[in-house]
Structure 1
Amino acid sequence: MSSIPTLPGIASQMVQTPRLKIHVLSRGPAGGIPVLLIHGNASSATFWEETLLALPPQYRGIAPDLRGYGDTEDQLIDATRGYFDWVDDLLGLMDALGVERFHLAGHSLGGGVVYSLIAAAAARVRSATLFAPASPYGFGGTKGLEGTPCYPDFAGSGGGIVSPEFARLIGEGYRGSEFPSSPRTVMNTFYWKPPFIPAREEALLSGVLSEKIGPQKYPGDSVPSANWPGAAPGRFGPANAISPKYVGDTVERFLAADPRPPILWVRGAEDQIVSDHSLFDMGTLGAAGAVPGWPGAEVFPPQPMVGQTRAVLERYGSFREHVIPETGHSPQIERPDLVDPLFHAHLEAAG
């Protein structure tokens, strides 16, 4: 089933849901306690294989390729719904699998899906784990711990800030490392802290290359803006879906969840993608002189992604934060010896 070779013990299947056909990797007994694992941007379910294999035997790990990624049916993402195309897909998947309640974990963009899924269906979630999650306010274009928009049109977020060269090389299936924007270079520079290289580098690179590319896919569309850096979010694709323009009232809906599933937040101390000075954030790049015309820190400072997450989770109340030293954006891949015990204990404590 999977276009990417899987590790022994990992099952691959296509599941027809009411919305689309979803590719799923899984491991564990059919009657086991379900754990739904949601991958990030420019990756796929392949990134969860070691995590699936490490789950204690009483759990059934379920790792789908999100809409727009991997071997899941190629359908457009309506970015104006924020994360909710993915949320509805995943709830439909769990219904199709006959799963009512489940543990939930998300990495990076997948963390944003976690917030929205709790906002939509908290009663179905036993526990949630956030691995290096996106800010609850979305990616780019906000300032302050309350997620205040830098501009009314949310310029500086969405498809217009994605490297077109990175997207082009993904679309070409480029596996080299000659260019700074090559998928392999980006993965090994930013997904984890160099000089770490995962044992399954080639399979993980294939996961990166599985993202669907196009003007309505990734990087998505954008609209011209009079505000710096000159582009505001469009209406399609994952980069626009995670813009604060469309994340909207998700934070308040998340904070209104009843019940509130307990949350474990695990992040790398040296994450360069999700941080208070992300190297993928226009405020950070503008302050460094990498993007001309920066309007200054009062107008468009670096987005305090970690600070925003902590402020929201402190209002949520039921959470624990763990920072993994000498680790980048993928602590579950870089340091499973430290992360898996935390994850498994959290699952066990939630019952």
Structure 2
Amino acid sequence: MLFNGISARRVPTHRLTMNILETDRVGDPVVFIHGNVSSSLFWQRPMLDLPAGYRPIAVDLRGFGDTDPEPVDATRGLSDYADDVAALLNTLDLGPVHLVGWSMGGGIALQLLRDHPASVRTLTLVNPVSPFGFGATRGENGELIDPNGAGSGAGGANPEFVKMLADGVTADDSPFAPRTIMHAFYFKPPFEPTDADVYVTSMLSTRTGDPHYPGDTTPTDAWPGAAPGTQGVLNALAPNHFRIDDLHTITPKPPIRWIRGAADQIVSDGSMFDLAYLGSLGAIPGWPGAETHPPQPMLAQTRAVLTRYAEAGGTYDEIVIDDCGHTPHLEKPTEFNAALEGILSKGGH
């Protein structure tokens, strides 16, 4: 499943052994972090498209691809993942890197920047999760709807999808099959990648169960009846566990570019994976209404955090790619590569 020019190796760190993809190019390191239910395989084309003078490295996160399947302590938010990547950067002795994070990987990149700002030369966020997690918040400042995060976390996962991941289903004869989900939500239909089998294989590398995807749940009387547990991927994204509202306080402040597809159905102000939004559509019974449980304004939240970052002396810009879904690096490579090269050039050599 590796493209010509891409090689893989496993790198031991003091935390775990991580699988990385790389090329034989030399130059300033550009480190790519994948999103949820995927792996480094989604980054191969952007890696090969980088101009001379840059060294591409894509990582597999714990529980994905060929990296060790260590459990995820969701009470730390995305810090397990960010600490893993920081350990890898240190092991490889890369110095400050250009960091590129997609979807959940965008949240991990934000956490790494928050904790280790001197290790980041530039930050590129690609359709990133909100700095206030996924689901169960309201307003641009990410106010928790429920103190325990009810309406977010592992309780929002579809059990049929989880079972098909675990069973390694490659067909598309079910609406919950990974291939079907990929075509319907990762991409803006009718986009059809030439390497679809590679990306399905990447999705199927996701480890399942309480320590991994989706995680465990906690019963609650609050709507919709489940709150995040303490383990696993979706709980690490829950807003009672993951929250970055002080990014503007870090020093130094490297330049940030936010790239997103205009038709993203996963990270948006009307996400098809946000339980409050689905409740507003009547898809989940008992929705308490928009006054108390509005759909999460994911884009407004990211914009608010980055605006404060800029007001405090940093810089950021937002590039919206039309007719594009959750994967601009695959759907619109010409536009994506131009946007990425533009921010890389701001980091110097």
SS in 2 for 1:22: strand
Paired residues of 2:256 and 2:316 also in contact (CA < 8 A): yes
CA distance in 2, matches of 1:62, 1:255: 27
Partner in structure 2 of residue 158 of structure 1 = 153
Determine which of 32, 39, 42 is the counterpart of 1:37. 32
Give runs of aligned pairs for residues 184-203 of structure 1, distance below 5 A.
Answer: 184-203=179-198
Partner in structure 1 of residue 22 of structure 2 = 26
> 1:251 and 2:245 equivalent?
yes
Segments of structure 1 that go 5 or more residues without pairing to the other structure are none
SS in 2 for 1:301: coil
Determine which of 114, 125, 128 is the counterpart of 2:120. 125
Determine which of 86, 95, 98 is the counterpart of 1:91. 86
Q: Give 1:203's aligned amino acid.
A: V
Partner in structure 2 of residue 271 of structure 1 = 264
Determine which of 309, 314, 320 is the counterpart of 2:317. 320
Determine which of 273, 282, 297 is the counterpart of 1:280. 273
Question: CA offset at residue 98 of structure 1?
Answer: 1.4
Paired residues of 1:221 and 1:233 also in contact (CA < 8 A): yes
How many residues in Structure 1 have an aligned counterpart in Structure 2?
344
Partner in structure 1 of residue 102 of structure 2 = 107
Cα deviation, 1:90-120, whole Å, max 9, x if unaligned, reads 1111111111210101000001011101110
SS in 1 for 2:245: helix
Paired residues of 1:122 and 1:259 also in contact (CA < 8 A): yes
Give runs of aligned pairs for residues 211-226 of structure 1, distance below 5 A.
Answer: 211-226=206-221
Partner in structure 2 of residue 13 of structure 1 = 9
CA distance in 1, matches of 2:171, 2:22: 30
Question: CA offset at residue 64 of structure 1?
Answer: 0.7
> 1:344 and 2:344 equivalent?
no
Cα deviation, 1:60-113, whole Å, max 9, x if unaligned, reads 111010011111011101111111101110111111111121010100000101
Cα deviation, 1:100-156, whole Å, max 9, x if unaligned, reads 210101000001011101110001100000010000100011011010011111100
SS in 2 for 1:267: strand
CA distance in 1, matches of 2:81, 2:118: 18
Segments of structure 2 that go 5 or more residues without pairing to the other structure are none
Q: Give 1:22's aligned amino acid.
A: M
Cα deviation, 1:142-192, whole Å, max 9, x if unaligned, reads 011010011111100111111111111000000111111110000000001
CA distance in 1, matches of 2:298, 2:125: 14
Determine which of 71, 74, 77 is the counterpart of 1:76. 71
Question: CA offset at residue 8 of structure 1?
Answer: 0.4
> 1:175 and 2:173 equivalent?
no
Paired residues of 1:28 and 1:59 also in contact (CA < 8 A): no
CA distance in 2, matches of 1:233, 1:179: 27
Question: CA offset at residue 215 of structure 1?
Answer: 2.3
Q: Give 1:349's aligned amino acid.
A: K
CA distance in 2, matches of 1:101, 1:269: 31
Question: CA offset at residue 28 of structure 1?
Answer: 4.2
Question: CA offset at residue 259 of structure 1?
Answer: 0.8
Q: Give 2:274's aligned amino acid.
A: D
CA distance in 2, matches of 1:38, 1:345: 19
Q: Give 1:280's aligned amino acid.
A: F
Paired residues of 1:83 and 1:113 also in contact (CA < 8 A): yes
Bigger Cα displacement from structure 2, 39-48 vs 310-319: 310-319
Paired residues of 1:164 and 1:219 also in contact (CA < 8 A): no
Give runs of aligned pairs for residues 144-155 of structure 1, distance below 5 A.
Answer: 144-155=139-150
Partner in structure 1 of residue 298 of structure 2 = 305
Q: Give 1:37's aligned amino acid.
A: F
CA distance in 1, matches of 2:139, 2:76: 24
Paired residues of 2:255 and 2:346 also in contact (CA < 8 A): no
Q: CA RMSD, aligned part only?
A: 0.8
Paired residues of 1:28 and 1:58 also in contact (CA < 8 A): no
Q: TM-score, normalised by structure 2?
A: 0.97
CA distance in 2, matches of 1:191, 1:247: 23
SS in 1 for 2:259: strand
Determine which of 224, 231, 234 is the counterpart of 1:229. 224
% identity of equivalent residues = 45
CA distance in 2, matches of 1:28, 1:301: 49
